[in-house]
Amino acid sequence: MTTALAERPTVKRAGAAPEQPMLAITIRHQDGSEEHTERTAVEHREIHLELLHAASTGYVEIAAGRRSSDGDLKIHTRCEREYFLPGGGRGGPSWREPLLALAARHEEADEEVFVGVTPRVVRRAGKEDVRWTRCLWMDIDLPGHEQEITRLLARFPAHLEIATAGGEDDTRDDGHRHLIWLLNGPQIARTVTDPDTGRRHQNARELTQRTGKKGRPRIVGYRDLKTRRVITNSEVVDWIERWNLRLIHHLGETRHDGKKVYIADKQCRERARVLRLAGTRNMKTGRYARIVRIDNYLAPYDIQGLVGELPDPPNSRPVRRRDLSSDSYDAFRLIPAAVYFPLFAGVELPAKGNIHCPSPTHPDVKESCSVDEFVWHCHGCGAQGTIYDLASLMRGGPTGDALCADNAWFHVIAKEVRERCRHLV
287 & 338 share domain: no
Say what percent of the chain tops pLDDT 90: 58
What CATH number has the domain bearing residue 339? 3.90.580
351 & 269 share domain: no
| Per-residue pLDDT tens over the stretch 173-205 | 567 899 999 999 999 999 998 877 788 999 998
Q: Is residue 200 part of a domain?
A: no
Q: Give the range among 52-61, 136-145, 401-410, 415-424 with minimum mean pLDDT.
A: 401-410
166 & 270 share domain: yes
Q: Is residue 18 part of a domain?
A: yes
Reply yes or no on whether the pLDDT at 87 is more than 90.
yes
Query: With DSSP H G I counted as helix, E B as strand and the rest as coil, what are the percentages for the chain, rounded to 5?
Result: 25, 30, 45
23 & 158 share domain: yes
Smallest Cα–Cα separation from 149: which of 28, 251, 225? 251
Question: For position 323, what pLDDT does the model report?
Answer: 52
Instruction: Fill in the amino acid letter for 71.
Output: G
Choice between 68 and 246, residue whose per-residue pLDDT is larger: 246
Question: For position 171, what pLDDT does the model report?
Answer: 45
Reply yes or no on whether the pLDDT at 2 is more than 50.
no
| Per-residue pLDDT tens over the stretch 197-234 | 788 999 998 887 665 556 677 777 888 887 777 777 78
151 & 264 share domain: yes
Range of the domain at 390: 331-424
Question: For position 9, what pLDDT does the model report?
Answer: 38
290 & 412 share domain: no
Q: Measured between alpha carbons, how far is residue 387 from residues 57, 300, 335, 406 in Å?
A: 34, 48, 8, 16
Kindly report the backbone phi and psi dihedral angles of residue 31, in degrees, each rounded to the nearest multiple of 5, phi listed first.
-90, 5
Q: How many other C-beta atoms lie within 10 A of the C-beta of residue 199? A: 13
Question: For position 360, what pLDDT does the model report?
Answer: 87
Question: For position 361, what pLDDT does the model report?
Answer: 87
266 & 395 share domain: no
Residue 208's DSSP bridge partners are 219
50 & 156 share domain: yes
d(CA 311, CA 313): 6
276 & 355 share domain: no
77 & 165 share domain: yes
Residues 362, 366, 367, 369, CA torsion sign: negative
Residue 200's DSSP bridge partners are 193
413 & 270 share domain: no
Per the structure, the count of domains in the chain is: 2
343 & 281 share domain: no
Q: How many other C-beta atoms lie within 10 A of the C-beta of residue 162? A: 27
**Average pLDDT over all residues of the chain:** 87
Question: For position 173, what pLDDT does the model report?
Answer: 58
Question: For position 240, what pLDDT does the model report?
Answer: 97
Q: Is residue 267 part of a domain?
A: yes
| Per-residue pLDDT tens over the stretch 266-280 | 999 999 999 999 999
Q: Is residue 13 part of a domain?
A: yes
Is 243:117 a contact under the CB 8 Å cutoff?
A: no
Say what percent of the chain tops pLDDT 70: 88
Q: Please report the beta strands in 46-150, taking only residues with DSSP state E, as ranges in sequence order.
A: 59-67, 73-75, 84-86, 112-116, 132-140
